[in-house]
């Protein structure tokens, strides 16, 4: 190399494409490659090669110069759905062997679509990840105070472990009752397993303790969370070691960092499989919040349409910290604090079909053609019609310019697939069938946006929409109209937005501890007096954070802490998460301050008429967020030119715009548009990894940061 590079690389692996965002010596470039599901490291490296070509730098030199490489993936979820994790043995307290097989009442519908839930008579419990004969009870008992009522029977334990190993267990999940209050028995179980079967005998057979995975009450969720982490551990290790080996061979010497669904990053050694679920949507949410702050948008809809799914996140009042306190992974309710997002099976690769059993209704998704074979127009053997095939037929995508011109598409194959599987069964033409596919997809995404905002008490007209993902800018004009949003923002790196989002993430860990504290007594409202119990719980969580961050190279002075409390009125079942104004109690006034913060948050969520202060106020759970801030990329600014975009015109072609059909539309090269240019619809703007659709009676204005603002006509106009 002629000069030393200062580089960060962020990679997001999706179901169809792998995206890359690179900052090198102040220059930002993006890359995209097809996801290689058989070996994810190939697509991972190809995306970096794609980005390095724009820098005129060898990809190995770029990797070797990186100060950080961050990575988000859906790999763990895919392994869970396919039930291809490791064979586990599960050890629980004697008498609780059926806690997972019996489950909770909601287990019948957890993770199901609304349509599936309505047809509950045909639903069933999720396929177990661990068969019932691989769950054994251990003789021991600890009570809710953490007191040992029955010592661990070591002889019984050794017999149970031998049984599990003989049945083929190659990993163990240990989930003993109330171990989050006293982990000594779980720790002893791990010691005995290591004594009975050291690595020299059994090989790598990891032991996962629920007291380390989740320090929260709730036996069902804590057991499920521990089982999932153990079940997916080996698959994650195999994937990450493969990518890590490839990076080390190219000179990268630092630990690979993983994107967590809490909105932060951590080294792979501080990451469990459960942390990686929905890492991509979490990245998009953090990136959207960061850019929303720069542009002054307090209310943002981050709408990410990729090749496989449509992921939706909301930023309301400038805050992205909307957490799902009881998230569902696949069909399982888990203990994990995740940033809230909504996903549906609507992407460029979503397959369209005619349902003869539903009066010939067209259904799009949730099944996807993925990257291989992909849509029919890929000409890789795919025969199913997809949304991308419809976009090609309707003129939105140039077959010779897809994926930066590196992947020519076949219009003939797209037309044949739509003809055979949609048009002919309905007795209509190919163009009409393609239009129906696109319209149905846009309507479903728009409806999802509307319901997600309205159900949270917001008016979507008060939001701007960030169109992200490879297909987001292509379909934004359609789903924004259905959602009732008139302003759409398209960024220079919208097509790799999740990878961008991880580049602005801080290193972050979240620590939780269940502890019931009656803050105000019911009736009398007498304040809680055991300040030491509250303060020591916070200090214990801080010590855990300091220890973990020290292992990642951070000093205590670099950390910031934020305390959340899960609180409720006496007699309630559900909690409300509150940002605590204090991390230490020293007086009755401090009690009042925290109670007031809870009441304010509760009023905003449920309205003042639902408050019941006479029932007292309780704390159910402590949540400590520890953060080590990271430098954020600055957006370059450019001088404004005039509004005329003629210098970026490359021609015209017919594009199908509802409700009028095909109209001659001017085609623009995104790279040649200048700050200040205004494109009037109907028009198509072609960028390297996406296409921006500007419908009739709409404008697309380029600002001084090369961001595009698409202004759509309101429904009333």
- N- to C-terminal Cα distance for the chain? 57
Given a cut of 90, whether residue 122 has pLDDT beyond it is no
124, with CB counted inside 10 A (0-12, 13-18, 19+), is exposed
List b or e across 382-396, with b for residues whose CB sees 16 or more CB atoms inside 10 angstroms.
bebbbbbbbbbbbbb
CA-CA distance, 664 to 108, in Å (whole number)?
Answer: 52
Alpha-carbon span 23 to 330, nearest angstrom: 34
CB 425 within 8 A of CB 360: yes
Q: What is the pTM of this model?
A: 0.85
In 3D space, the residue among 217, 215, 179, 202 whose CA is nearest the CA of residue 91 turns out to be 179
- Each residue's pLDDT tens digit, 425-441: 999 999 999 999 999 99
Q: What b/e sequence results for 151-187 when a residue is b if at least 16 CB atoms lie within 10 Å of its CB, and e otherwise?
A: ebebeebeebbeebbeeebbbbbbbbbbbbbbbbbbe
Q: What average pLDDT is seen over the chain? A: 88
The DSSP H or E segment spanning 203 is: none
Q: How many CB atoms lie within 10 A of CB 605?
A: 12
Quickly tell me which residue has 């759970």 as its tokens. Answer: 621
**CA 548, 506, 56 angle in degrees (round to 5)?**
120
Percent share of the chain, pLDDT over 90: 50
Would you say residue 1 has pLDDT above 50?
no
pLDDT at 253: 87
239-272 exposure pattern, b = at least 16 Cβ within 10 A, e = fewer: bbeebbebbeebebeebbbbbbbbbbbbbbebbb
Distances (CA, A) of 654 to 391, 410, 648, 662: 12, 17, 18, 6
CATH architecture label of 507-628: 2-Layer Sandwich (3.30)
Convert the pLDDT of each residue in 674-686 to its tens digit.
999 999 989 999 9
Given this model, what pLDDT does residue 241 score?
76
Average pLDDT over residues 246-250: 90
Q: From CA 339, how far away is CA 625, in angstroms rounded? A: 13
Q: Residue 437: CB partners within 8 Å, gap ≥ 6?
A: 352, 362, 364, 385, 387, 389, 390, 418, 422
The whole-angstrom distance between residue 28's C-alpha and the CA centroid of its chain comes to 24
Token look-up 């970096």 returns: 48
Note the pLDDT of residue 716: 52
Q: How many CB atoms lie within 10 A of CB 532?
A: 10
Q: Contact 654/394 with Cβ under 8 angstroms? A: no
Q: How confident is the model at residue 717 (pLDDT cuts 50, 70, 90)?
A: very low
CATH of span 7-79+241-275: 3.30.420.40
What is residue 349's three-state secondary structure? coil
- pLDDT (mean) for 44-59: 90
Peptide bond into 691 cis (omega under 30): no
* pLDDT on residue 599: 93
DSSP type of residue 31: E
| pLDDT for the residue 626 | 93
Rounded Cα gap, residues 627 and 653, in angstroms: 51
The residue with greater pLDDT, 608 or 656, is 656
What percentage of the chain reaches a pLDDT higher than 70? Answer: 94
pLDDT the model gives residue 200: 58
Cα angle for residues 216, 222, 227 (degrees, 5° grid): 150
Average pLDDT in the 280-292 region? Answer: 88
The confidence score (pLDDT) of residue 647 equals 95
For residues 43 and 13, the answer to whether their CB atoms sit within 8 Å is: yes
pLDDT of residue 56 exceeding 70, the answer is: yes
pLDDT tops 90 at residue 520? yes
For residues 396-402, give the mean pLDDT: 90
Confidence at 402, pLDDT banded by 50, 70, 90: confident
Give the domain ranges of the chain: 7-79+241-275, 80-237, 507-628
DSSP letter at 616 equals -
- Does residue 234 register a pLDDT over 80? no
Tell me the pLDDT tens digit for each residue of 346-356.
Answer: 888 899 999 88
| Residues whose CB falls within 8 Å of the CB of residue 690, separated by 6 or more in sequence, listed in order | 470, 471, 472, 473, 474, 494, 495
Average pLDDT over residues 295-318: 87
80-237: CATH number: 3.40.50
Per-residue 3-state assignment (H helix, E strand, C coil) for 411-475 = HHHHHHHHHHHHHHHHCCCHHHHHHHHHHHHHHHHHHHHHHHHHCCCCCHHHCEEEEECCCHHHH
Torsion over CA of 126, 131, 133 and 135, rounded to 10 degrees?
-80
Distance, in Å, from the CA atom of 16 to the CA atom of 13, rounded to the nearest integer, reads 8
What pLDDT is recorded for position 551?
A: 85
């Amino acid at each position: 190399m002629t000069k030393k590079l200062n580089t960060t690389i962020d990679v997001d692996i999706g179901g169809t494409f792998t995206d890359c965002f690179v900052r090198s010596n102040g220059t930002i470039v993006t890359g995209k490659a097809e996801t290689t599901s058989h070996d994810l490291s190939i697509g991972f490296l190809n995306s970096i090669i794609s980005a390095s070509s724009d820098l005129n730098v060898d990809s190995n030199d770029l990797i070797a110069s990186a100060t950080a490489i961050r990575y988000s993936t859906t790999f763990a979820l895919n392994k869970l759905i396919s039930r291809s994790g490791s064979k586990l043995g599960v050890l629980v307290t004697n008498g609780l062997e059926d806690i997972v097989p019996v489950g909770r009442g909601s287990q019948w519908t957890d993770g199901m679509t609304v349509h599936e839930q309505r047809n509950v008579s045909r639903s069933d419990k999720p396929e177990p990840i661990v068969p019932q004969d691989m769950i054994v009870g251990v003789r021991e008992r600890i009570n809710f105070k953490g007191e040992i009522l029955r010592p661990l029977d070591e002889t019984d334990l050794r017999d149970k472990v031998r049984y599990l190993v003989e049945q083929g267990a190659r990993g163990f999940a240990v989930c003993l009752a109330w171990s989050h209050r006293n982990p000594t028995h779980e720790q002893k179980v791990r010691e005995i397993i290591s004594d009975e079967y050291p690595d020299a005998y059994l090989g790598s057979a990891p032991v996962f303790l629920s007291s380390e995975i989740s320090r929260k009450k709730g036996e069902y969720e804590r057991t499920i969370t521990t089982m999932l982490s153990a079940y997916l551990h080996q698959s994650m290790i195999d994937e990450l070691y493969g990518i890590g080996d490839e990076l080390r061979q190219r000179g990268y010497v630092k630990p690979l960092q993983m994107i967590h669904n809490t909105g932060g990053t951590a080294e792979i050694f501080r990451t469990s499989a459960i942390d990686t679920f929905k890492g991509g949507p979490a990245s998009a949410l953090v990136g959207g919040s960061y850019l929303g702050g720069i542009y002054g948008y307090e209310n943002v809809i981050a709408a990410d349409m990729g090749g496989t799914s449509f992921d939706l996140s909301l930023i309301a009042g400038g805050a992205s910290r909307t957490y799902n306190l009881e998230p569902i992974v696949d069909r399982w309710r888990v203990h994990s604090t995740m940033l809230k997002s909504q996903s549906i099976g609507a992407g460029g690769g979503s397959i369209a079909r005619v349902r003869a059993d539903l009066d010939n209704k067209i259904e799009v998704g949730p099944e996807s053609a993925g990257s291989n074979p992909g849509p029919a127009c890929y000409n890789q053997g795919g025969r199913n019609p997809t949304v991308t095939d419809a976009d090609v037929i309707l003129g939105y995508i140039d077959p010779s310019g897809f994926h930066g011109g590196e992947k020519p598409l076949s219009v003939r194959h797209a037309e044949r697939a739509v003809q055979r599987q949609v048009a002919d069964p309905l007795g209509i033409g190919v163009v009409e069938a393609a239009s129906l596919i696109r319209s149905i997809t846009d309507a479903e995404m728009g409806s999802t946006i509307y319901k997600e905002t309205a159900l949270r008490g917001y008016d979507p007209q008060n939001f701007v929409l960030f169109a992200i993902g490879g297909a987001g800018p292509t379909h934004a004009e359609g789903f924004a109209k259905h959602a009732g949003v008139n302003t759409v923002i398209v960024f220079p790196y919208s097509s790799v937005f999740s990878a961008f989002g991880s580049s602005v993430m801080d290193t972050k860990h979240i620590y939780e501890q269940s502890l019931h504290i009656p803050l105000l007594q019911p009736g009398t409202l007498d304040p809680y007096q055991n300040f030491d119990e509250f303060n020591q719980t916070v200090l214990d969580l801080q010590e855990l954070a300091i220890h973990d961050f020290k292992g990642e190279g951070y000093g205590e002075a670099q950390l910031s802490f934020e305390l959340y409390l899960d609180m409720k009125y006496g007699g309630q079942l559900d909690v409300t998460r509150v940002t605590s104004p204090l991390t230490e109690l020293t007086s009755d006034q401090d009690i009042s301050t925290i109670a007031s913060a809870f009441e304010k948050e509760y009023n905003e969520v449920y309205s003042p008429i639902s408050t019941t202060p006479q029932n007292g106020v309780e704390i159910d759970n402590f949540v400590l967020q520890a953060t080590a801030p990271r430098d954020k990329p600055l957006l370059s600014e450019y001088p404004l030119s005039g509004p005329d975009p003629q210098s970026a015109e490359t021609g015209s072609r017919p594009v199908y715009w509802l409700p009028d059909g095909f109209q001659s539309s001017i085609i623009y090269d995104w790279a040649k548009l200048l700050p200040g240019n205004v494109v009037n619809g109907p028009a198509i703007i072609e960028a390297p990894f996406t296409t921006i659709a500007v419908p009739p009676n709409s404008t697309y204005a380029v600002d001084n940061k090369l961001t595009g603002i698409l202004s759509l006509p309101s429904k009333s106009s």
